[in-house]
Amino acid sequence: MSERASSTGSTASFRGQITLDGPSGTGKSSVARGVAARLGAAYLDTGAMYRAATVAVLDAAVDPEDADAVARTVAAARIEVGTEAGTELVLVDGVDVAARIRGAEVTRNVSAVSAVPAVRRQLVEQQRALVAATEAVVVEGRDIGTVVLPDATLKVYLTAAPEVRAERRAGQLGITDPAEVAALAEDLRRRDEYDSSRADSPLRPAEDAVVVDSTDLDQQGVVDRIVELAASAVGAGDRS
Ligand SMILES: Nc1ncnc2c1ncn2[C@@H]1O[C@H](COP(=O)(O)OP(=O)(O)O)[C@@H](O)[C@H]1O
Ligand SMILES: Nc1ccn([C@H]2C[C@H](O)[C@@H](COP(=O)(O)OP(=O)(O)O)O2)c(=O)n1
């Protein structure tokens, strides 16, 4: 049996939660989808929820830095996301915003909206309810291992060198102009700094997270590594 077949086989009955946190462009979304597909697990993109909240704020013409107004606007919005690995369902008040949440305006403003404690409380509650409805799930974000699911079966913190992350994001967006790639790298750096230094639930690895550096691994290599870690985590759980 090949290594991949054996690792898939040993985790076919995976039950539990895998958290995947880390900065932008490390491969969280693509790797989380890959792991969920391999394990037959659900998938929750919590960044999509903060991006959807940002759409609600922008549509209400509220200043993203005005925390009280942001909190009121998001509390009044109905944010819905799907947990099926193969689809991307993101709705704000019943309107499909799956494409819009990836746009530059949302990306520029999402860190400010996601730093508002009331917004985090609201979305974390929703995330826990979505997870509670699953038997097996891969959840990606910034505070999943530290705050949302402190008792997860496996916690992974994904990193990669900043220049590699910027190149990956540029490739994803089809950007080739060196000046635009440099601007993108600066945007990533600014957002990571904002996300890591906020008072409420800053981006950082959980103490019990396994750090996986994807700088020199391709996407499949990262998926394989996490599937292996999941198999070990389930085995360790069986023995305890
Ligand atoms: N290990 C990897 N090696 C090369 N490219 C990768 C790797 N992981 C992800 N990618 C690519 O990098 C881009 C950003 O990945 P994404 O999953 O959106 O990152 P994140 O969710 O952390 O921001 C995507 O185009 C993805 O296909
Ligand atoms: N659990 C989470 C997930 C995302 N966020 C915030 C911080 C991020 O800059 C934005 C967008 O997250 P997203 O995962 O979509 O970002 P990238 O695709 O990695 O660029 O949301 C958060 O504060 N907590």
pLDDT per residue over 180-219, tens digit each? 999 989 989 988 898 899 888 899 999 999 999 999 999 9
205 marked as part of a ligand binding site: no
Ligand nearest to the CA of 174: 1
In 47-145 the beta strands, taken as DSSP E runs, fall at 79-81, 90-92, 95-96, 136-141
- Atom from ligand 1 closest to the CA of residue 47: 21
pLDDT at 235: 75
DSSP state of 143: S
9 marked as part of a ligand binding site: no
For ligand 2, atom 21: residue with the closest CA? 47
Site to substitute for ligand 1 among 139, 168, 214, 222, most atoms within 8 A of C-beta = 168
Between CA 194 and CA 205, with CA 200 as vertex, the angle to 5 degrees is 75
pLDDT at 5: 38
pLDDT at 13: 82
Ligand nearest to the CA of 33: 1
Spatial CA neighbour of 45 closest among 137, 116, 136, 109 = 137
Measured from CB, residues less than 6 Å from any atom of ligand 1 are 24-31, 168-169, 171-172, 214, 217-219, 222
pLDDT at 11: 54
- CA end-to-end distance (rounded Å), the chain: 28
Q: State which residues of the chain have pLDDT below 50.
A: 1-10, 240
pLDDT at 72: 98
| Gap from CA of 47 to ligand 2 centroid (Å) | 4
Spatial CA neighbour of 39 closest among 72, 85, 80 = 85
CA 191 from centroid of its chain's CA atoms: 14
pTM value > 0.80: yes
What residue ranges define each of the domains in the chain, with the CATH number in brackets?
Answer: 14-35+140-235 (3.40.50.300), 42-133 (3.40.50.300)
Question: What's the CA gap between 181 and 167, in Å, rounded?
Answer: 7
In sequence order, the 6+-apart residues with CB closer than 8 A to the CB of 13 are none
pLDDT at 12: 62
Burial (CB count within 10 angstroms: exposed 0-12, middle 13-18, buried 19+), residue 4: middle
Are the C-beta atoms of residues 27 and 165 closer than 8 Å to each other? no
